[in-house]
Amino acid sequence: MTQDVVISSALRQNLLSLQNTARVLDRTVLRLATGLKVNSALDNPSSFFTARGLSNEANDLSRLLDGVNQGIQTIKEADVGLNTLTALTRQAETVAQQALELYNQAPPKPITVGTKDITGGPLVNSPDINVNDDVIIRFRKKDETALFGTSSVAVNIEATTTAGELAAQLSALRTTDGEQLVQVELLSNGTLQIEGKNDFILSINFRAAAISDANNLILADALGFGEQAITLIRNSLFGNEAGFDLAGTRTVISHRFVNAAGENAKGSDLLTNLTTPDGSFTFIGLDNAADQFRIGVNGDAQYDVLLDNTQTVQGFVNGINNISALQGRIFAEFDDETGQIRISAIDDTIETLEFGVVGDGIMLANFGFSVGLHLSFVGGVPAEKKIILGQGITPTLTQINRLEDDYDSLTEQIDGISEDAKYLGINLLGGDSLTTFFNSGLTSSLVTEGANFTAQGLGFRTKAGFRSITNTQTDLDIAKNSLSEIRSFQRSVANNLAIIQARQIFIEETINTLRAGSGDLTIADQNKEGANLLALQTREALGVTALSLATQSQQSVLRLF
């Protein structure tokens, strides 16, 4: 039978004290080894679980911070793409500006010179010039769309009128606003030079006192303008005259056309359905393949474009551009926004454009090119008009093609950049959006909206159109607007980046705060625990000594045996 060991009360008390000291010493050594004063829930349940919650939240935010950092990289990649797009778009603007400068190097001058010496006394000394013969100037501003161009002034030739006086009288003609229309000079060789002034499109007309088509042409020839003048079949309101239009531009522009709904005409509208804004019919009698629009340059061979009742506006424009003999010399286009047709001379050797209509019946076909007189014919008599273009250097087709190729190459690269500027599958320049979360509950976030920065998304046209000054200006404006749009988006992205970076710093500091709070609850004070260890070691040594003293009396009994 096992017997209990009998020890004294003092000895037992010393043993218990040593056990407690050893237990505390073990705990202190553990704290020094782990650096924690709370290693498990048994140490301090409240501190342990509170610290565990703080640490978990800090860990969640750390994982969230990874997403924030990647979001920053996505925006930085977009910013790199935007910088490249800015450079490409700025270069596209430069190319379009270069094309525009080609047109502006030598602005066209509305000028024509007679071919006959008309000096030598009063003009009526010529058998072909009579008293009361008229030189009429009809006019409108280039940006006006008057249907008939009825504004006019005239000089009446009197018995004593000389060539110099005629030149002075024509130069003195003014509009009701006091603007000069023409400057007419009597050159040293006795010929007249007529130059348009103040941005007017002019029709210089000759009307003999004995009015007839033949007499009108004879008068024009007698004054030295027989090579320029043709019979202008106008309408019953004005009658026929001989003359020519002095455009002062390399691009002639039609009336503004509207469709049946009163809206600006579209390319798909039929010509027969179009009118001018005042409601006048402009294409009466277009009914079969015998009806043609006739066009020529410099008095060369003439070419016809179908005007029957199936012809659309765009089909008519295409018909002009499809004339092989005129390709590279003229270029036609239709502007849906203004409802106008434009025909540009893109070959600097072109001095005149001739327009006419031919057909098999009564027709009124008023395109309104230049001043806007009617082109019509009655009973098979064809109508024509001659437009003397502004004389100036125009871009050659080679120059235009090269700049168009450069411009189109830039728009292709814009497409490439917008496609490649992605990070982790997100492309802010391709229309994707980026959502960046700022808290573990995913209730606080920022959405960075993307944009479509392909060439089409920026508004660039499929192909550059430098074959007219109008289209060139349009492409230049597109490049400028695109550059403004890119810069605006870049500012927006930069603002979002600043917000995300500020939230990134906040999250990092929040993580540090949470971990510091967790540490305050669980991390041991190494200095304090070191002191505790030294004290416990001393206490343990003293306890052993005390225990030794407590057992000495029992050792004294042992010596009796």
Helix or strand or coil: residue 249?
Answer: coil
For residue 550, pLDDT over 70 is answered with no
Give residue for tokens 């292709």.
412
For residue 72, pLDDT over 80 is answered with yes
With a pLDDT cut of 90, the percent of the chain lying above it is 26
Question: What are the residues facing 356 on neighbouring strands?
Answer: 294, 384
Residue 348 is predicted with a pLDDT of 74
Q: What amino acid is encoded at 57 in this protein? A: E
Which domains does the chain possess? Answer: 61-104+397-516 (1.20.1330.10), 106-246 (no CATH), 250-392 (no CATH)
How far is Cα of residue 387 from the mean position of the Cα atoms in its chain?
35
Pairwise CA distance, residues 65 & 511, whole Å = 10
Question: Looking at 50-59, 67-76, 329-338, 487-496, which range is the least confident one?
Answer: 50-59
Residue 142 is predicted with a pLDDT of 65
Half-sphere exposure of 438 (CA within 13 A, CB side): 16
For residue 164, pLDDT over 80 is answered with yes
Q: Which of 185-189, 285-289, 325-329, 337-341 has the highest mean pLDDT?
A: 185-189
Question: Looking at 193-207, 500-514, 544-558, which range is the least confident one?
Answer: 544-558
Residue 558 is predicted with a pLDDT of 59
- CB-based contacts of 17, cutoff 8 Å, min separation 6: 543, 546
Torsion (CA) 514, 516, 522, 523 in degrees, nearest 10 = 160
Residue 219 is predicted with a pLDDT of 94
Residue 24 is predicted with a pLDDT of 66
Residue 1 is predicted with a pLDDT of 47
Q: What is the mean pLDDT of residues 377-391?
A: 66
Nearest to 269 by CA among 305, 309, 306: 309
Helix or strand or coil: residue 502?
Answer: helix
pLDDT digits (tens, 9 = 90+) for 271-306: 888 888 777 667 777 777 778 888 889 888 889 888
Query: Would you say 264 and 274 are in contact if contact means Cβ atoms under 8 Å apart?
Result: no
pLDDT digits (tens, 9 = 90+) for 18-55: 677 767 666 666 666 666 666 666 666 776 677 677 77
Q: What amino acid is encoded at 279 in this protein? A: G
Q: What amino acid is encoded at 221 in this protein? A: D
Q: What is the mean pLDDT of residues 533-548?
A: 68
Q: pLDDT averaged over the chain? A: 81
- First-residue to last-residue Cα distance in the chain: 26
pTM: 0.59
Residue 25 is predicted with a pLDDT of 67
- Alpha-helical (H) ranges within 384-523 are 397-420, 469-522
